[in-house]
Structure 1
Amino acid sequence: MSTEPQQPKTPQPKPSLTERRKAATQLDIARAAAELFAEHGPDGTTAEAIATRAGVALRTFYRYFRSKQDAVAPLLSGGGDQWLALLASAEPGSGVLSNLERAVTEVLSTPDPRAAEQLDWTRGLLRAADRDPALRAVWYRVNQEGEEKLLPVLTALAGPGADPLEVRLAGAAATAAIRTALEEWARTDAPAQGPGSPAELAARCLKELTRGMSLS
Protein backbone atom coordinates (compact mmCIF):
# COMPACT_ATOMS: atom_id res chain seq x y z
CA MET A 1 0.00 0.00 0.00
CA SER A 2 1.47 3.36 -0.97
CA THR A 3 1.64 6.23 1.43
CA GLU A 4 2.13 9.87 0.77
CA PRO A 5 5.50 11.22 1.88
CA GLN A 6 5.57 13.35 5.01
CA GLN A 7 5.90 17.03 4.32
CA PRO A 8 9.03 18.52 5.89
CA LYS A 9 8.41 20.73 8.87
CA THR A 10 8.67 24.45 8.37
CA PRO A 11 11.49 25.72 10.60
CA GLN A 12 10.26 28.02 13.34
CA PRO A 13 11.82 31.49 13.17
CA LYS A 14 14.26 32.21 15.97
CA PRO A 15 13.36 35.02 18.37
CA SER A 16 14.96 38.35 17.53
CA LEU A 17 17.53 39.95 19.82
CA THR A 18 14.85 42.36 21.06
CA GLU A 19 12.50 39.47 21.87
CA ARG A 20 15.26 37.60 23.71
CA ARG A 21 16.12 40.67 25.77
CA LYS A 22 12.47 41.21 26.59
CA ALA A 23 12.10 37.58 27.71
CA ALA A 24 15.26 37.83 29.82
CA THR A 25 13.99 40.98 31.55
CA GLN A 26 10.63 39.38 32.23
CA LEU A 27 12.35 36.34 33.75
CA ASP A 28 14.55 38.54 35.95
CA ILE A 29 11.45 40.30 37.24
CA ALA A 30 9.66 36.97 37.75
CA ARG A 31 12.54 35.57 39.80
CA ALA A 32 12.71 38.73 41.89
CA ALA A 33 8.97 38.48 42.57
CA ALA A 34 9.24 34.81 43.54
CA GLU A 35 12.13 35.53 45.91
CA LEU A 36 10.21 38.31 47.63
CA PHE A 37 7.04 36.22 47.83
CA ALA A 38 9.09 33.51 49.56
CA GLU A 39 10.61 36.03 51.98
CA HIS A 40 7.60 38.24 52.75
CA GLY A 41 4.56 36.61 51.12
CA PRO A 42 2.53 38.25 48.35
CA ASP A 43 0.79 40.59 50.83
CA GLY A 44 4.13 41.85 52.13
CA THR A 45 5.55 42.46 48.67
CA THR A 46 5.03 45.52 46.49
CA ALA A 47 5.60 46.08 42.78
CA GLU A 48 8.18 48.71 43.75
CA ALA A 49 10.13 46.16 45.80
CA ILE A 50 10.06 43.68 42.91
CA ALA A 51 11.32 46.29 40.46
CA THR A 52 14.12 47.27 42.84
CA ARG A 53 15.17 43.65 43.41
CA ALA A 54 15.16 43.03 39.63
CA GLY A 55 17.14 46.22 38.96
CA VAL A 56 14.54 47.81 36.69
CA ALA A 57 12.43 50.95 36.84
CA LEU A 58 8.87 50.67 38.10
CA ARG A 59 7.58 51.80 34.71
CA THR A 60 9.49 48.88 33.16
CA PHE A 61 7.76 46.52 35.57
CA TYR A 62 4.33 47.79 34.52
CA ARG A 63 5.29 47.66 30.86
CA TYR A 64 5.47 43.88 31.18
CA PHE A 65 3.10 42.99 34.03
CA ARG A 66 -0.26 44.21 35.26
CA SER A 67 0.27 43.27 38.92
CA LYS A 68 2.79 41.82 41.34
CA GLN A 69 1.14 38.40 41.11
CA ASP A 70 1.16 38.53 37.32
CA ALA A 71 4.94 38.97 37.45
CA VAL A 72 5.56 35.30 38.28
CA ALA A 73 3.72 34.00 35.19
CA PRO A 74 6.98 33.39 33.24
CA LEU A 75 8.18 31.05 35.99
CA LEU A 76 4.88 29.18 36.17
CA SER A 77 4.72 28.75 32.40
CA GLY A 78 8.37 27.79 31.86
CA GLY A 79 7.87 24.04 32.20
CA GLY A 80 4.83 24.19 29.94
CA ASP A 81 6.81 25.95 27.24
CA GLN A 82 9.45 23.19 27.33
CA TRP A 83 6.75 20.52 27.16
CA LEU A 84 5.04 22.21 24.22
CA ALA A 85 8.34 22.52 22.33
CA LEU A 86 9.06 18.83 22.84
CA LEU A 87 5.63 17.84 21.51
CA ALA A 88 5.98 20.19 18.55
CA SER A 89 9.23 18.47 17.59
CA ALA A 90 7.51 15.07 17.24
CA GLU A 91 6.62 13.74 13.79
CA PRO A 92 3.16 14.86 12.57
CA GLY A 93 0.70 11.99 12.65
CA SER A 94 2.80 10.00 15.15
CA GLY A 95 0.05 9.82 17.75
CA VAL A 96 -1.25 11.87 20.65
CA LEU A 97 -1.28 9.83 23.85
CA SER A 98 2.10 8.18 23.40
CA ASN A 99 3.75 11.53 22.69
CA LEU A 100 1.98 13.17 25.61
CA GLU A 101 3.19 10.53 28.04
CA ARG A 102 6.74 10.71 26.71
CA ALA A 103 6.82 14.52 26.88
CA VAL A 104 5.34 14.69 30.38
CA THR A 105 7.86 12.19 31.72
CA GLU A 106 10.84 13.75 29.97
CA VAL A 107 10.15 17.36 30.93
CA LEU A 108 9.25 16.68 34.57
CA SER A 109 11.99 14.14 35.28
CA THR A 110 14.99 15.79 33.62
CA PRO A 111 17.50 16.10 36.49
CA ASP A 112 19.40 19.12 35.16
CA PRO A 113 19.90 22.25 37.32
CA ARG A 114 17.53 24.39 35.26
CA ALA A 115 14.69 21.88 35.55
CA ALA A 116 15.30 21.44 39.28
CA GLU A 117 15.24 25.21 39.77
CA GLN A 118 12.02 25.46 37.77
CA LEU A 119 10.34 22.89 40.01
CA ASP A 120 11.58 24.64 43.16
CA TRP A 121 10.09 27.94 42.01
CA THR A 122 6.82 26.23 41.09
CA ARG A 123 6.52 24.50 44.45
CA GLY A 124 7.05 27.73 46.36
CA LEU A 125 4.64 29.71 44.23
CA LEU A 126 1.90 27.07 44.42
CA ARG A 127 2.20 27.00 48.18
CA ALA A 128 1.86 30.78 48.24
CA ALA A 129 -1.12 30.56 45.84
CA ASP A 130 -3.07 28.56 48.43
CA ARG A 131 -3.24 31.78 50.48
CA ASP A 132 -3.50 34.31 47.65
CA PRO A 133 -6.49 34.22 45.25
CA ALA A 134 -4.83 36.62 42.78
CA LEU A 135 -1.74 34.41 42.53
CA ARG A 136 -3.97 31.35 42.15
CA ALA A 137 -5.79 33.12 39.29
CA VAL A 138 -2.45 33.63 37.51
CA TRP A 139 -1.73 29.90 37.84
CA TYR A 140 -5.10 28.99 36.34
CA ARG A 141 -4.63 31.50 33.53
CA VAL A 142 -1.20 30.06 32.70
CA ASN A 143 -2.75 26.59 32.47
CA GLN A 144 -5.61 27.81 30.27
CA GLU A 145 -3.22 29.57 27.91
CA GLY A 146 -1.05 26.46 27.78
CA GLU A 147 -4.03 24.31 26.86
CA GLU A 148 -4.94 26.68 24.02
CA LYS A 149 -1.38 26.52 22.65
CA LEU A 150 -1.42 22.73 22.96
CA LEU A 151 -4.48 22.08 20.78
CA PRO A 152 -2.94 22.79 17.33
CA VAL A 153 0.13 20.72 18.26
CA LEU A 154 -2.02 17.73 19.25
CA THR A 155 -4.14 18.15 16.13
CA ALA A 156 -0.99 17.74 14.03
CA LEU A 157 0.11 14.70 16.06
CA ALA A 158 -3.31 13.08 15.71
CA GLY A 159 -3.23 13.28 11.93
CA PRO A 160 -6.13 13.53 9.48
CA GLY A 161 -9.29 11.67 10.40
CA ALA A 162 -8.93 12.05 14.15
CA ASP A 163 -12.00 13.10 16.11
CA PRO A 164 -11.49 16.83 16.92
CA LEU A 165 -13.48 16.47 20.12
CA GLU A 166 -11.27 13.64 21.36
CA VAL A 167 -8.14 15.63 20.49
CA ARG A 168 -9.49 18.54 22.48
CA LEU A 169 -10.34 16.27 25.39
CA ALA A 170 -6.80 14.87 25.31
CA GLY A 171 -5.40 18.40 25.55
CA ALA A 172 -7.68 19.24 28.47
CA ALA A 173 -6.78 15.97 30.19
CA ALA A 174 -3.04 16.53 29.74
CA THR A 175 -3.24 20.06 31.10
CA ALA A 176 -5.30 18.92 34.08
CA ALA A 177 -2.92 16.00 34.72
CA ILE A 178 0.14 18.23 34.97
CA ARG A 179 -1.65 20.92 36.97
CA THR A 180 -3.03 18.41 39.45
CA ALA A 181 0.28 16.59 39.77
CA LEU A 182 2.22 19.78 40.48
CA GLU A 183 -0.37 21.02 42.98
CA GLU A 184 -0.37 17.71 44.87
CA TRP A 185 3.44 17.52 44.84
CA ALA A 186 3.73 21.12 46.09
CA ARG A 187 1.64 20.24 49.14
CA THR A 188 4.20 17.61 50.19
CA ASP A 189 7.93 17.43 50.77
CA ALA A 190 8.37 14.67 48.20
CA PRO A 191 11.56 14.89 46.11
CA ALA A 192 11.64 16.10 42.52
CA GLN A 193 12.64 12.62 41.35
CA GLY A 194 11.37 9.14 42.19
CA PRO A 195 8.23 8.14 44.15
CA GLY A 196 5.78 10.99 44.63
CA SER A 197 7.62 13.20 42.14
CA PRO A 198 5.84 15.43 39.61
CA ALA A 199 6.77 13.06 36.76
CA GLU A 200 5.32 10.03 38.52
CA LEU A 201 2.15 11.84 39.59
CA ALA A 202 1.59 13.43 36.17
CA ALA A 203 2.01 10.10 34.34
CA ARG A 204 -0.49 8.50 36.73
CA CYS A 205 -3.00 11.34 36.29
CA LEU A 206 -2.62 11.27 32.52
CA LYS A 207 -3.30 7.54 32.32
CA GLU A 208 -6.39 7.87 34.52
CA LEU A 209 -7.80 10.83 32.59
CA THR A 210 -7.19 9.40 29.11
CA ARG A 211 -8.39 5.88 29.88
CA GLY A 212 -10.80 4.77 27.19
CA MET A 213 -9.69 7.26 24.54
CA SER A 214 -9.16 5.77 21.11
CA LEU A 215 -6.24 8.07 20.24
CA SER A 216 -2.88 6.30 20.02
Structure 2
Amino acid sequence: MNHSSASRSAPGSLTERRKAVTQLDIARAAAELFTEKGPDGTTAEEIAARAGVALRTFYRYFRSKQDAVAPLLSSGGDRWRALLSDTGPDVPLARALESAAVASLLPSGDVGEQEGLRWTRGLLRAAQEDSALRAVWYRVNMESEKQLLPVVARLAGPEADPLEARLIAAAATDAIRVALESWATMDPNAAESRHPADLVVRCLRQLTGGIELLACQE
Protein backbone atom coordinates (compact mmCIF):
# COMPACT_ATOMS: atom_id res chain seq x y z
CA MET A 1 0.00 0.00 0.00
CA ASN A 2 1.08 3.57 -0.54
CA HIS A 3 1.79 4.33 3.11
CA SER A 4 2.53 8.03 2.57
CA SER A 5 -0.92 8.70 1.13
CA ALA A 6 -2.57 6.48 3.74
CA SER A 7 -0.94 8.39 6.57
CA ARG A 8 -2.44 11.66 5.32
CA SER A 9 -5.98 10.30 5.59
CA ALA A 10 -7.60 10.15 8.99
CA PRO A 11 -8.66 6.67 10.12
CA GLY A 12 -12.28 6.10 9.23
CA SER A 13 -12.25 8.83 6.58
CA LEU A 14 -14.13 8.41 3.32
CA THR A 15 -10.83 7.83 1.51
CA GLU A 16 -9.83 5.06 3.89
CA ARG A 17 -13.25 3.43 3.63
CA ARG A 18 -13.02 3.48 -0.16
CA LYS A 19 -9.58 1.89 0.03
CA ALA A 20 -10.93 -0.84 2.30
CA VAL A 21 -13.77 -1.54 -0.15
CA THR A 22 -11.34 -1.73 -3.07
CA GLN A 23 -9.05 -4.08 -1.13
CA LEU A 24 -11.97 -6.34 -0.29
CA ASP A 25 -13.16 -6.36 -3.91
CA ILE A 26 -9.69 -7.43 -5.01
CA ALA A 27 -9.54 -10.06 -2.26
CA ARG A 28 -12.87 -11.56 -3.34
CA ALA A 29 -11.78 -11.60 -6.98
CA ALA A 30 -8.56 -13.39 -6.01
CA ALA A 31 -10.44 -15.94 -3.90
CA GLU A 32 -12.89 -16.63 -6.73
CA LEU A 33 -10.09 -17.19 -9.23
CA PHE A 34 -8.08 -19.33 -6.81
CA THR A 35 -11.19 -21.49 -6.37
CA GLU A 36 -11.73 -21.76 -10.12
CA LYS A 37 -8.15 -22.12 -11.34
CA GLY A 38 -5.90 -22.51 -8.30
CA PRO A 39 -3.23 -19.98 -7.26
CA ASP A 40 -0.74 -21.30 -9.83
CA GLY A 41 -3.24 -20.86 -12.65
CA THR A 42 -4.16 -17.32 -11.66
CA THR A 43 -2.30 -14.11 -12.53
CA ALA A 44 -2.37 -10.71 -10.89
CA GLU A 45 -3.67 -9.30 -14.19
CA GLU A 46 -6.66 -11.65 -14.05
CA ILE A 47 -7.41 -10.69 -10.46
CA ALA A 48 -7.29 -6.99 -11.31
CA ALA A 49 -9.57 -7.51 -14.30
CA ARG A 50 -12.06 -9.54 -12.26
CA ALA A 51 -12.09 -6.83 -9.56
CA GLY A 52 -12.50 -4.09 -12.18
CA VAL A 53 -9.31 -2.21 -11.25
CA ALA A 54 -6.10 -1.38 -13.07
CA LEU A 55 -3.07 -3.59 -12.48
CA ARG A 56 -1.22 -0.64 -10.93
CA THR A 57 -4.08 -0.33 -8.42
CA PHE A 58 -3.67 -3.99 -7.54
CA TYR A 59 0.03 -3.49 -6.80
CA ARG A 60 -0.69 -0.32 -4.84
CA TYR A 61 -2.41 -2.49 -2.25
CA PHE A 62 -0.81 -5.93 -2.55
CA ARG A 63 2.69 -7.28 -3.15
CA SER A 64 1.58 -10.53 -4.79
CA LYS A 65 -1.49 -12.45 -5.94
CA GLN A 66 -1.44 -14.57 -2.75
CA ASP A 67 -1.16 -11.46 -0.59
CA ALA A 68 -4.42 -10.22 -2.12
CA VAL A 69 -6.54 -12.64 -0.07
CA ALA A 70 -5.19 -11.43 3.29
CA PRO A 71 -8.24 -9.19 3.98
CA LEU A 72 -10.53 -12.22 3.71
CA LEU A 73 -8.32 -14.41 5.88
CA SER A 74 -8.07 -11.73 8.57
CA SER A 75 -11.79 -10.88 8.76
CA GLY A 76 -12.67 -13.62 11.26
CA GLY A 77 -9.88 -12.62 13.63
CA ASP A 78 -10.96 -9.00 13.38
CA ARG A 79 -14.49 -9.94 14.48
CA TRP A 80 -13.18 -12.11 17.31
CA ARG A 81 -10.99 -9.34 18.73
CA ALA A 82 -13.79 -6.78 18.39
CA LEU A 83 -16.17 -8.98 20.38
CA LEU A 84 -13.48 -9.74 22.94
CA SER A 85 -12.73 -6.03 23.32
CA ASP A 86 -16.38 -5.45 24.26
CA THR A 87 -16.18 -8.01 27.08
CA GLY A 88 -16.42 -6.63 30.59
CA PRO A 89 -13.54 -7.10 33.06
CA ASP A 90 -15.74 -9.22 35.33
CA VAL A 91 -15.90 -12.08 32.80
CA PRO A 92 -13.24 -14.80 33.35
CA LEU A 93 -10.65 -14.70 30.62
CA ALA A 94 -11.13 -18.33 29.55
CA ARG A 95 -14.89 -17.82 29.14
CA ALA A 96 -14.38 -14.51 27.32
CA LEU A 97 -11.99 -16.06 24.78
CA GLU A 98 -14.38 -18.92 24.01
CA SER A 99 -17.58 -16.87 23.92
CA ALA A 100 -16.13 -14.25 21.60
CA ALA A 101 -14.63 -16.89 19.30
CA VAL A 102 -17.89 -18.81 18.99
CA ALA A 103 -19.94 -15.64 18.48
CA SER A 104 -17.58 -14.54 15.70
CA LEU A 105 -18.08 -17.85 13.89
CA LEU A 106 -21.75 -18.69 14.39
CA PRO A 107 -24.01 -18.19 11.36
CA SER A 108 -25.71 -14.82 11.22
CA GLY A 109 -27.76 -12.86 8.76
CA ASP A 110 -24.66 -11.02 7.59
CA VAL A 111 -23.95 -12.23 4.06
CA GLY A 112 -20.41 -10.89 4.23
CA GLU A 113 -19.59 -12.96 7.33
CA GLN A 114 -21.00 -16.13 5.78
CA GLU A 115 -19.08 -15.47 2.59
CA GLY A 116 -15.87 -14.86 4.54
CA LEU A 117 -16.09 -18.25 6.25
CA ARG A 118 -16.72 -19.98 2.93
CA TRP A 119 -13.73 -18.26 1.36
CA THR A 120 -11.57 -19.10 4.37
CA ARG A 121 -12.27 -22.80 3.94
CA GLY A 122 -11.40 -22.74 0.24
CA LEU A 123 -8.26 -20.69 0.76
CA LEU A 124 -6.98 -22.89 3.58
CA ARG A 125 -7.49 -25.94 1.41
CA ALA A 126 -5.55 -24.26 -1.41
CA ALA A 127 -2.81 -23.23 1.04
CA GLN A 128 -1.96 -26.88 1.63
CA GLU A 129 -0.39 -26.96 -1.84
CA ASP A 130 0.75 -23.35 -2.15
CA SER A 131 3.60 -22.23 0.13
CA ALA A 132 3.15 -18.52 -0.69
CA LEU A 133 -0.54 -18.66 0.26
CA ARG A 134 0.38 -20.57 3.41
CA ALA A 135 2.87 -17.83 4.29
CA VAL A 136 0.13 -15.21 3.97
CA TRP A 137 -2.08 -17.24 6.32
CA TYR A 138 0.71 -17.49 8.90
CA ARG A 139 1.42 -13.77 8.62
CA VAL A 140 -2.27 -12.99 9.17
CA ASN A 141 -2.17 -15.07 12.34
CA MET A 142 0.99 -13.39 13.60
CA GLU A 143 -0.59 -9.97 13.09
CA SER A 144 -3.77 -11.16 14.81
CA GLU A 145 -1.76 -12.39 17.80
CA LYS A 146 0.00 -9.03 18.07
CA GLN A 147 -3.33 -7.18 18.05
CA LEU A 148 -4.86 -9.65 20.50
CA LEU A 149 -2.18 -9.13 23.17
CA PRO A 150 -3.37 -5.75 24.55
CA VAL A 151 -6.95 -7.06 24.66
CA VAL A 152 -5.88 -10.11 26.64
CA ALA A 153 -3.69 -8.00 28.92
CA ARG A 154 -6.63 -5.72 29.74
CA LEU A 155 -8.97 -8.63 30.49
CA ALA A 156 -6.32 -10.42 32.55
CA GLY A 157 -6.07 -7.40 34.85
CA PRO A 158 -3.29 -5.04 35.94
CA GLU A 159 -1.67 -7.66 38.16
CA ALA A 160 -1.30 -10.23 35.39
CA ASP A 161 2.19 -11.35 34.41
CA PRO A 162 3.00 -9.82 30.97
CA LEU A 163 4.68 -13.07 29.94
CA GLU A 164 1.55 -15.06 30.76
CA ALA A 165 -0.61 -12.59 28.82
CA ARG A 166 1.67 -12.98 25.80
CA LEU A 167 1.56 -16.78 26.06
CA ILE A 168 -2.24 -16.73 26.26
CA ALA A 169 -2.53 -14.45 23.21
CA ALA A 170 -0.19 -16.72 21.23
CA ALA A 171 -1.87 -19.95 22.34
CA ALA A 172 -5.40 -18.67 21.74
CA THR A 173 -4.49 -17.50 18.24
CA ASP A 174 -2.87 -20.85 17.45
CA ALA A 175 -5.80 -22.79 18.91
CA ILE A 176 -8.18 -21.13 16.47
CA ARG A 177 -5.70 -21.46 13.60
CA VAL A 178 -5.38 -25.21 14.19
CA ALA A 179 -9.16 -25.58 14.49
CA LEU A 180 -9.77 -23.76 11.21
CA GLU A 181 -7.06 -25.67 9.38
CA SER A 182 -8.49 -28.99 10.61
CA TRP A 183 -12.02 -27.94 9.66
CA ALA A 184 -10.87 -26.93 6.17
CA THR A 185 -9.56 -30.43 5.46
CA MET A 186 -12.83 -32.15 6.40
CA ASP A 187 -15.45 -33.27 3.89
CA PRO A 188 -17.58 -30.13 3.40
CA ASN A 189 -20.69 -32.29 2.91
CA ALA A 190 -20.34 -34.03 6.27
CA ALA A 191 -22.75 -32.75 8.93
CA GLU A 192 -20.01 -32.34 11.55
CA SER A 193 -17.92 -30.17 9.23
CA ARG A 194 -20.52 -27.59 8.25
CA HIS A 195 -19.23 -25.11 10.79
CA PRO A 196 -15.91 -24.78 12.68
CA ALA A 197 -17.37 -23.59 16.01
CA ASP A 198 -17.22 -27.03 17.67
CA LEU A 199 -13.59 -27.54 16.73
CA VAL A 200 -12.72 -24.04 17.91
CA VAL A 201 -14.35 -24.72 21.27
CA ARG A 202 -12.49 -28.02 21.60
CA CYS A 203 -9.12 -26.43 20.84
CA LEU A 204 -9.73 -23.43 23.10
CA ARG A 205 -10.78 -25.64 26.00
CA GLN A 206 -7.50 -27.50 25.75
CA LEU A 207 -5.90 -24.09 26.19
CA THR A 208 -8.22 -22.66 28.81
CA GLY A 209 -7.51 -25.54 31.20
CA GLY A 210 -4.03 -24.08 31.41
CA ILE A 211 -5.37 -20.57 31.92
CA GLU A 212 -7.55 -21.75 34.81
CA LEU A 213 -4.53 -23.53 36.32
CA LEU A 214 -2.53 -20.29 36.21
CA ALA A 215 -5.40 -18.45 37.89
CA CYS A 216 -5.49 -21.01 40.70
CA GLN A 217 -1.76 -20.57 41.30
CA GLU A 218 -2.00 -16.82 41.77
Same fold (TM over 0.5): yes
* Alignment of 1:138 onto 2:136: yes
Deviation at 1:95, TM superposition (A): 3.5
State the Cα RMSD in Å.
1.9
Return the alpha-carbon distance in structure 2 between the equivalents of residues 17 and 189 of structure 1.
42
Deviation at 1:209, TM superposition (A): 2.1
Return the alpha-carbon distance in structure 2 between the equivalents of residues 203 and 14 of structure 1.
34
TM-score norm. by structure 2 comes to 0.87
1:170-185 paired onto structure 2 within 5 Å: 170-185=168-183
Which residue number corresponds to residue 42 of structure 1? 39
Return the alpha-carbon distance in structure 2 between the equivalents of residues 215 and 104 of structure 1.
21
Return the alpha-carbon distance in structure 2 between the equivalents of residues 215 and 95 of structure 1.
10
Deviations 1:104-145 (A, max 9, x none): 111111333332211110000011101100000000000000
Does the C-alpha gap of structure 1 residues 207 and 144 become closer, same or farther in structure 2, counting only changes over 3 Å?
Answer: same
* Alignment of 1:57 onto 2:54: yes
- How many equivalent residue pairs? 203
Determine which structure has the larger helix proportion and give its number.
2
Deviation at 1:93, TM superposition (A): 5.8
Q: Report which structure shows greater RCO (CA 8 Å, sep ≥6).
A: 1
Q: Gaps (5+ residues) in structure 1? A: 1-12
Does the C-alpha gap of structure 1 residues 215 and 111 become closer, same or farther in structure 2, counting only changes over 3 Å?
Answer: farther
Return the alpha-carbon distance in structure 1 between the equivalents of residues 138 and 36 of structure 2.
23
Q: Does the 8 Å contact 1:94/1:158 carry over to 2?
A: no
TM-score norm. by structure 1 comes to 0.88
Deviation at 1:215, TM superposition (A): 4.2
AA matched with 2:19: K
Matching residue within 197, 206, 209 for 1:208:
206
Q: Gaps (5+ residues) in structure 2? A: 1-9
Which residue number corresponds to residue 77 of structure 2? 80
Which residue number corresponds to residue 93 of structure 2? 96
Q: Does the 8 Å contact 1:32/1:53 carry over to 2?
A: yes
